[in-house]
Amino acid sequence: MKKNKIFITLSAVLTIIIIVFLYYVIGIFYFFFYTKNENINALIKKNFYIFDKYTSIIHHIRSNPDYIDKIKKQDELIFDIYNEGGSKTILFQGDSWFEQAFSYKNLNENFLKKNQNLKYVNAGIGSYSPSLMMLQLNILINDFKIFPDMIVAYIDQTDIYDEVCRYKFQKKYSNNFLISIPEEKRPLSNHFIPFTREVHKVKLNIEYNSIISKSHHNLVYEIEKTLEQIKNQTEINVFNRKKKELIKNCKKKKDYYQFSADEIDYFKKELENYINFIISKNIKKILLVTHFHKDYLERIKNNEINDIYISNVVDEILHKYQTIKHLNFSKIVTNEEFELLKKESSWLRDKLHLSENLHTNYFMKKIDDEVHELYYFKK
């Protein structure tokens, strides 16, 4: 009887080993042909150091083909500099509103060349919200020795979604201080394409010459990623009901104005953390900028702005910071500009961004005027 039990146990263990080995062999064959024919992302291969080092800290860097085709060095995937000889440094932080603005030819001709005494550092990157901007500022100061005299930060309505739905559970802390927001391997939405897999492919291509070695490490990577996903899903479904509810709610959101009071409070806390970090670096000149999207035009006209509207959220926070200025476009837009903004041609197809002409001659022009009038930089 005892021998039978030992035999059954050994048979079961041997069966498991054979099954695992067969799966491994099948996996190796699959990844052998996959690796042999895979395309390596040329952008990441060319700029591997920057991607490998910083996507584990600041989630993602610039990847818009229209913009990155123009870069001359790797640093410009995080920031670029204009008027390098300027005596004062103005740092622009925010999302695609600033990333796009500085790529427009008209901005260079009508704005930058007229302000040669100012050094502009554009660190705008799509989907950057306050917590990522804080991490980015720390990198700019410590790694690239950029010390701004003034920060112009664009805060967008979509920042609330990014903070609550994309970055909240990705954040890593040390002694209650935010140290990184690594890129998610499995984003909530298919709209977001993570670079983690692409960086891994380039890394294998650099470290290993043998296709067999690459195939093995590709298989191990996919197994680890799958096990991590199972672990995360188990944690969410069994242990973390709050996170499960958040993910469920984020997937159901149809626009950027459906947030609970708790979610707005969470965003306010992250924005305050960003502001306090700026102040801790002895940067005393801060200008926050907000602008509405096309779908909010009628609400502004009819004075139907609620507590979830980003300019109101910023105003509420700035009661604590009397020296920080807020350029609120919903309050300064003229009737003539409002009528112009109602036109389809004034916006890009996503209805979230202005056309090139308005972005340069209306949005950035008013920011330029505010910078000089508020802080007395000579034109």
Domains recognised in the chain with CATH numbers: 2-37+208-241 (no CATH), 83-159+260-375 (3.40.50.1110)
Whole-angstrom CA distances from 69 to 18, 102, 206, 337, 342 are: 50, 14, 23, 33, 32
- The pLDDT of residue 191 is 44
- Cβ atoms of 372 and 150 within 8 Å: the answer is no
- The average confidence (pLDDT) of the chain is 82
Pairing status of strand 150-154 against strand 177-180: unpaired
- The pLDDT of residue 189 is 46
- The pLDDT of residue 377 is 57
Q: What is the pTM of this model?
A: 0.83
**pLDDT of 105-124, one tens digit each?**
777 766 776 777 889 999 99
Comparing 108-112, 239-243, 318-322, the range with the smallest average pLDDT is 239-243
